[in-house]
Structures are given as structure tokens and as C-alpha cells.
Amino acid sequence: MILVTMLGLLFVTFIIGRVMPIDPVLSIVGERASKEVYDAAYLAMGLDKPLLVQFFVYLWDVIHGDFGQSLLNSRPVLEDIKRVFPATLELATLGTLMGVLIGVPLGVISAVKRDSWIDQITRVVALVGYSMPIFWLGLVGLLVFYGVLGWVGGPGRVGIFYVDIVPVVTGMILVDSALDGQWDVFRDALSHIVLPASILGYYSLAYISRMTRSFMLEQLGSEYITTARVKGLSEWTVITRHAFGNIKVQLITVIALSYASLLEGSVLTEIIFAWPGIGSYITTALLSADMNAVLGGTVVIGLVFVCLNVFSDLLYAFFDPRSRDDAL
């Protein structure tokens, strides 16, 4: 199923890229090129072949780790993805951590204190975070916290003074600067990432807290919870061990989907904050008709979704013994 999913994703994206009203040849030769130059580039790119043949040629190259060359910079697409993906991974990971560490407790407390003022505030906060356009939050955040208050760094991953100072090990600037002992770079990078990560974290928090509250309310209304209370168990034990223990598997799916959505859906955030991640990379490539880069980025994002789903299944077996029994 993983192979079928990836093949289907690659096929659909490839066909859409080929039928879009964008001419990749013009991106190479320019609009003033002669017909002879245009035709030569057209044949060299293999665009004269049927779409199905073009797809299988591309698929064969992808299987061998060749995503083609970017039409913008003539570098291998895979090298570009290796360069930009760690930035998105770092940003999305921090955003997800914020969403989990704040959203799960809020959802649990909201369910336990149902219809209280805490519950009402939590629901409003979640509704605003889930409904507010993320690009608007980013612009307002930059205006208030960077432009007016000066509490955080501006767009980009680090200030101009710190660019290319830290050796690239993982591609994640916080990790690399810490490994190299460059704590001034670490502090500067942290000041730049905290705002976009907080905005993504708020979006993740809204989703996770709402789902956690819904799951907890379902469990707290069950008969086994009433039985546990009648037996004299403490409310803390009832909530943490029984109710929350039974929603762990559901939360795994919610958190995995939230993480995946931040990895592939942080395009607007990356553009607003000039964050050199895979979202802005794919967007720039799409606007420039660089379909090799678009296809390569799409395959990577699809692979991330698949890997997160597989990882969720493995966690199911860890938290739910019934899954292990079914597997055996």
C-alpha cells in the first residue's frame, strides 16, 4: 500500500505538472529565444514523447535517486531538497512540540472542567486559532513583536552577521550551533524561530486541544469511569490512568496528522518570515515552472506522510496491546 500510495501521488502530480498552462521550456530559453532554440530544448527535455512515456522515464530516474535538475539553478533537485528540508523540519518540530505540550493539557483540563470558565476560554482560544488565517497571524506577529516591541528576530533563520558561520551538520541551525558551541548564533537563531514556530504551534494547539477535549469527554462519560469512581479511586487516577490512558492511541493519530500538516502546510509562514524551507522552495519552483523541483518536493512531502503513518502504526502496537495481538 505504501508503494501504491507513492506511485499514485507521483503519477497525479506528474500529470498535473505537465498539463498546467506553464511552459517549462520558456523558463530555460527565455521568451525571446528563436524557434530553433525552443524546439531543440523541447526535444532535449523529452516533451515530445507521450505523457505516459515521460512518466515512466521520470519514475525510472526517481527509483535510482535522480529527481532531475532544477531549471532555476541547474543543481540536482535532491541536493536542493536536502538543503531546504531541515529548515522546515526544525520549524514544524518546534511548532508541534508547542502544540502538544500546551494543547493536550488544555484539552484534558477543559474536558474535566466542562462548561467552566476554563473550558469556555480554552474553546474560544482553540476556535480563534483554528479559524484565523495563518498568514494574517504571521503579519500581525511581525508587526507587533518584531516591528514595535522588538522582542524577537526578524525574517530569516539568523541575522546577516551570523550567516554561514556554523558548519552544517544536520541542517537545523539550532542543533548545529549547539553542537559547534556557537551559543551567540544559537540565541540569535532562537530569536528568529520563536515567532514562526509559535504561530504554527498555536495552529497545532488549536487542533490538538479540541480533539483531546472531545476524546476525553467521550471517555469521562463511559460506564467504566463511573465504576472506577464508585470503587473509590482518586480523581487523579481516574483521569490520568483510565480516561487519558484510553485516548493515547487516538492522540497519536491526531499528533501525527498535525505534524505532517505543519511539514507540508507551512508555505505561507515560510514566505512571510523568509524561511528557506521546502514550502517556499516548492512555491518558488511552481511560479517559475520548475516542475522537476515541484515534483521532487511533492514526493518528499508524500514520503513524510507515509513515514508518519507507519510510525503511528508502530506506536499503536506499543500503547495498545490489542494491536500486538492482532499482528501476531
Share above pLDDT 90 across residues of the chain, in percent, rounded to a whole number: 4
Chain-centroid distance of CA 66 in Å reads 24
Average pLDDT over the chain, rounded to an integer: 82
Q: Which of 89, 65, 91 is nearest to 79 (CA)?
A: 65
pLDDT digits (tens, 9 = 90+) for 157-197: 888 888 878 888 888 888 888 988 888 989 988 998 999 99
Q: Domains for the chain: give ranges and CATH numbers.
A: 2-63 (no CATH), 77-327 (1.10.3720.10)
Helix (H) or strand (E) holding 78: helix 77-112
Query: What DSSP letter does each residue of 145-159 carry, written as one string?
Result: IIIIS--S--SSSS-
Ordered per-residue pLDDT tens for the chain, 328 residues: 777 877 887 888 777 777 766 666 766 666 677 777 777 877 777 777 777 888 888 888 888 877 877 877 778 888 888 888 898 889 999 999 998 999 899 988 888 888 888 888 888 888 887 778 888 888 888 888 888 888 888 888 888 888 878 888 888 888 888 988 888 989 988 998 999 999 988 888 888 988 888 888 888 887 777 787 787 777 788 888 878 878 888 888 888 888 888 887 677 788 888 888 888 888 888 777 777 888 888 888 888 888 887 787 777 767 666 555 554 4
Q: Nearest-CA neighbor of 166 among 148, 147, 152, 187?
A: 187
Q: Give the containing element (helix H, strand E) for 303.
A: helix 291-319
pLDDT digit string, tens, across residues 267-300: 778 888 888 888 888 888 877 777 788 888 888 8
- Read off the pTM: 0.81
Q: Which of these, 206, 190, 238, lies nearest to 90 by C-alpha position?
A: 190
- How far is 172 from 168, CA to CA, in rounded Å? 8
Give the list of residues 6+ apart from residue 139 with CB closer than 8 angstroms, or none.
272
